[in-house]
Structure 1
Amino acid sequence: MSAAQSDAKPKRPICPSCSKPARVCLCSRIRTRNLDNSISVTILQHSLERNHPLNSTRIAKLGLKNLNVVTVFEVDFEARFEIRLLEPGLGLIGPESSGFDQVREKGITQKAGFEVKGDGKCQDEKNRDLIDENENPCEKLDKGSHVDAINGGGVVINATMLKYGVVSHLSHIWKVDTHGKKPNFEHIVTSTMAKEALRGGFVVKKLGRKKLEGNMELELEESEEFEIKVPQGSVLLFPSQNAIGVDELKSMHFEVKNLIVLDGTWSKAGRVYNENPWLKLLPHLRLDLDRMSLYSEIRSQPKVGCA
């Protein structure tokens, strides 16, 4: 057995910086290291890509200074998302709309356009008439679509995600028309108030939930997976059906300040996208190319715009 080990070929030397074989090391080809890029880059990296030999995130770390890498795991059993605004005063209606602190001090729960008092009555902000909540427009809102300023901690969107991108619960503070369908993140961006509020930036916290091993009862263990700051001017580089090109983005006078990129094979990137529905709150950017990129020489490129 020792003879067999001695006859085995030694592993080829690997560059510790770019993780490529020494003979094809990329470090010397990176002319400018730690480039102080004016547009920040946030990479959502699939957890199985961290140790992949073709890991391009390592190259990005060598070349870019203004870079944030977040490891994203697939939903094991269930995940919960909490979203808070970077500018809490945006997107609220009524006299308490200047911020969550004022709402918290008054000890009320506010819905979009209404105040729900402690006695269960709902007060219309326009005519200030107190009406029973079960007999006025408040009942048309999702039961969770309010800000509990005492217990909510400034959370404006709360969602629970199951495996494979299934949203089991979604609540938010804005009044939107779902047309009788189950609420989803696409409905939120139909609200002008929601879009204005989210445009100012937000923070996303993901809490993963797993079943406790060896426990016959349904008991879940919850732990924080990540907390991401999504600043104003963020866009997602992803060729979805609603994605727009660079020229169209410029015509909208949208100043890109932060580019979010998904790192993984196309199947892995698709799972990251589906299991992180908050990405649908962002403008989607696609690459409009006259020809297929050289990426197809390394991995399969499903269509034009995927590079």
Structure 2
Amino acid sequence: MSTTQGQSKRPICPSCSKPTRTCLCSRILTPGIQNSVHVTILHHALERKHPLNSTRIAILGLKNLTVATVSDVNFQARFLIRLLDPNSHSGHAGNVSDGLFSRHDGAVMNDEVEKNAIRPNCDLTRGLDEDNEGLAISVAIGKYGTISSLSHIWMTQAQCQSPKLSFDKILAYPEAREALSKGFLVKKFQRKQLNSGVDLEEECEEFELEVPPGSVLLFPSDKAVNINDLDAIGFEVKNLIVLDGTWAKAKRIYSENPWLNILPHVKLEVNEMSLYSDVRHQPRAGYLSTIESIVFALKAVGENREGLDGLLDTFESMVGDQRRCKEERLSKQFEEVASTQIETVCKKL
């Protein structure tokens, strides 16, 4: 079966979202690889229709996979983080509150107030869910990840009133590190203006993700360690989180999702160029496509399932398709220019 896309009316494969003449499905020789290390992809919304986006290969090839679409924050967003083990946060009772947004008329949206607000002067959340058990962190951010509001169950009254807001400081609390290491659930809400210049806003849920114990973020930040060194410190990776987009988009995802700072950061140290080659710019050697990063990272943590290399073969063939399409377009343009020039010369004669 196939569908058509836009005005081009090209038949599109519903499984891989590629034109049927370049369908990837039959190229996945080992579909549904039973990877024991789960993979979570934060997929930039603007990458979804890019012909060279390799997340589609991961979707076809990996069984244990979660993909969450992430948009840029152009106005405001907020995150609610709930502990998977609500009894693990020693030190304080009650739930954190997050009264971050109000309607333009001053009425509070979803204004069910928690009976056990953590502190009278630190009432920063509303009960958006029917059951707020285990809600530990609430944070609101603006464009570029600037934090406008932050509350968590480990902060003191003085820190609650402090104008300096830093997500990184949460991990300074040993009890916070212990509780969050047992896993958490993160929910993101995007707040958008309905009309430019008009004070009308709406808020909708963008994603909800479970981040289990043993999760790591694959991102080369300043605090990232070589993924090959994890065995030496006895850390077992159970969930690999990958950011999908161009380098600039990946950096935006990172800066606009402060909850990623909770996770251990790992990086790949490879010197080879991506199979993207000349069809998509890579800043330098070692900057790989999403599917290349996933395959190399899974291998680094001991995942040697049959078929992983086949995913790279599929990616290479997809790049080859794009290269041929590029050459065909250039050839057609050259022929059109040459034909025009010949017609011009003939008219002069």
TM-score by length of 1: 0.73
Q: 3-state SS of the aligned residue for 1:294?
A: coil
CA offsets 1:227-251 (integer angstroms, 9 cap, x no match)? 1111111111111111111222222
Q: Provide the rounded CA distance (Å) in 1 between the counterparts of 2:126 and 2:142.
A: 24
Find the counterpart in structure 2 of residue 29 from structure 1: 27
Q: Letter of the aligned partner of 1:89 in structure 2? A: N
1:191 aligns with 2:173: yes
Q: How does 1:115-130 map to 2 (within 5 A)?
A: none
Say if 1:197 and 1:56 are closer, same or farther in 2 by CA, change over 3 A: same
Aligned residues: 258
1:182 aligns with 2:164: yes
1:220 to 195, 198, 201: 201
Q: Provide the rounded CA distance (Å) in 1 between the counterparts of 2:276 and 2:261.
A: 26
1:243 to 213, 224, 231: 224
User: How well do the aligned residues superpose, as a CA RMSD in angstroms?
Assistant: 3.3
Find the counterpart in structure 1 of residue 142 from structure 2: 162
8 Å Cα contact 2:271/2:286 also seen in 1: no
8 Å Cα contact 2:73/2:190 also seen in 1: yes
Q: How does 1:224-303 map to 2 (within 5 A)?
A: 224-303=205-284
TM-score by length of 2: 0.65
8 Å Cα contact 1:144/1:172 also seen in 2: no
Q: Provide the rounded CA distance (Å) in 1 between the counterparts of 2:240 and 2:33.
A: 15
Which is richer in strand? 1
1:173 aligns with 2:153: yes
Find the counterpart in structure 1 of residue 82 from structure 2: 84
How far is the alpha carbon of 1:24 from its aligned partner? 5.2
Q: Provide the rounded CA distance (Å) in 1 between the counterparts of 2:21 and 2:72.
A: 35
1:66 to 39, 64, 67: 64
Q: Letter of the aligned partner of 2:242 in structure 1? A: V
Q: Provide the rounded CA distance (Å) in 1 between the counterparts of 2:30 and 2:220.
A: 29
How far is the alpha carbon of 1:28 from its aligned partner? 3.8
Q: Provide the rounded CA distance (Å) in 1 between the counterparts of 2:255 and 2:45.
A: 15
How far is the alpha carbon of 1:17 from its aligned partner? 3.9
Q: Provide the rounded CA distance (Å) in 1 between the counterparts of 2:222 and 2:55.
A: 26
Say if 1:44 and 1:214 are closer, same or farther in 2 by CA, change over 3 A: closer
Q: 3-state SS of the aligned residue for 2:164?
A: coil
State, as a whole percentage, how many aligned pairs show the same letter: 53
CA offsets 1:223-281 (integer angstroms, 9 cap, x no match)? 11111111111111111111111222222211111111111111111111111111111
How far is the alpha carbon of 1:46 from its aligned partner? 0.7
CA offsets 1:209-233 (integer angstroms, 9 cap, x no match)? 11243784x3431111111111111
Structure 1, unmatched stretches of 5+, are: 1-9, 101-106, 111-115, 121-141
Q: 3-state SS of the aligned residue for 2:243?
A: strand
Find the counterpart in structure 1 of residue 191 from structure 2: 209
Say if 1:11 and 1:145 are closer, same or farther in 2 by CA, change over 3 A: closer
Q: Provide the rounded CA distance (Å) in 1 between the counterparts of 2:75 and 2:237.
A: 35
Q: 3-state SS of the aligned residue for 2:58?
A: helix
Q: 3-state SS of the aligned residue for 2:205?
A: strand
